[in-house]
Structure 1
Amino acid sequence: MNAKRYAIRDWPEGERPRERLVAEGARRLTTAELLAIVLRSGARGQSAVDLGRTLLGEWKGLAGLESAEPDALAETMGMGPAKIAQVKAALELGRRLLAEVERVARPRVTSSKDVMELMAPKLRGLQHERCEVILLNGGNEVVAVETLSEGSLTESPVYPREFLQRANRHHAAAVILVHNHPSGHSQPSAGDRALTEELVLAGDLLRIPLVDHVIIGRRDHYSFADRGLIEEYKRRPRRPA
Structure 2
Amino acid sequence: MQEKRKRPTIKQLPLNERPRERLIQGNEEYLTDAELLGIIIRDGTQDYSAVDLAKKLLSEYGDFRRLSSVSIGELCTVKGIGPARAAQIKASLVIAKRFSTIPVKTSQQFKKSSDIFNHFHERLREKKQEHFFVTLLDNKNRIIKELTISIGSLTLSIVHPREVFNPAIRESAAAVVFVHNHPSGDPEPSKEDIQITQRLQEAGNIVGIKVLDHIIVGNGCYTSLRDKGIIS
1:107/1:185 Cα in 2 relative to 1: closer, same or farther (>3 Å)? same
Distance across 2 between alignment mates of 1:189 and 1:176: 18
Q: For residues 103 and 218 of structure 1, what CA distance do their matches in structure 2 show?
A: 25
Alignment of 1:96-107 (within 5 A): 105-107=106-108
The residue that corresponds to 2:198 in the other structure is 197
User: How big is each residue's C-alpha offset from its partner over 1:91-121, in whole Å with a ceiling of 9 and x where there is no partner?
Assistant: xxxxxxxxxxx99642101211110121111
Question: Which residue of the partner structure matches residue 131 of structure 1?
Answer: 132
User: Matched residue of 2:180: which SS?
Assistant: strand
Alignment correspondent of 1:117: 118
| Amino acid paired to 1:209 | K
Q: Which moved more, 1:104-113 or 1:137-146?
A: 104-113
Residue equivalent to 1:182: 183
Q: In structure 1, how many angstroms separate the alpha carbons of the residues matched to 2:106 and 2:227?
A: 26
Q: Which runs of 5+ in 1 are unaligned?
A: 1-101, 232-241
For structure 2, the residue ranges without an aligned partner over 5 or more in a row are: 1-102
Q: Which amino acid aligns with 2:189?
A: P
1:155 aligns with 2:154: yes
Asked if the contact 1:188–1:222 (Cα under 8 Å) also holds between the matched residues in 2, the reply is: yes
The verdict on how the C-alpha distance between 1:104 and 1:150 changes in structure 2, with shifts beyond 3 A counting, is closer
Contact 1:106–1:143, Cα closer than 8 Å, also in 2: no
Question: Which has the greater radius of gyration?
Answer: 1
- 1:1-241 alignment, distance < 5 Å: 105-151=106-152, 154-155=153-154, 157-231=158-232
Instruction: Give me the whole-angstrom Cα distance separating, in 1, the residues matched to 2:214 and 2:221.
Output: 14
Alpha-carbon distance, 1:155 to partner = 3.3
C-alpha distance in structure 1 between counterparts of 2:136 and 2:230, whole Å: 20
SS of aligned partner of 1:192: helix
- Matches of 1:112 and 1:123 in 2, distance apart? 16
Q: 1:128 to 1:107 in 2, by over 3 A?
A: same
Q: Aligned equivalents of 1:104 and 1:197: distance in 2?
A: 29
Q: Name the SS for the 2:205 alignment partner.
A: helix
Residue 111 of structure 2 aligns to which amino acid in structure 1?
T
After superposition, give the CA deviation of every residue in 1:114-139 in whole Å (9 maximum; x if it has no partner): 10121111111100010001110011
> RMSD over aligned Cα, in angstroms?
1.8
Report the TM-score when normalising by structure 2.
Answer: 0.52
Aligned-pair CA distance for 1:219: 2.3
Percent of aligned pairs with the same amino acid: 35
Whichever structure has more helix as a proportion of its residues is 1
Q: TM-score, normalised by structure 1?
A: 0.50
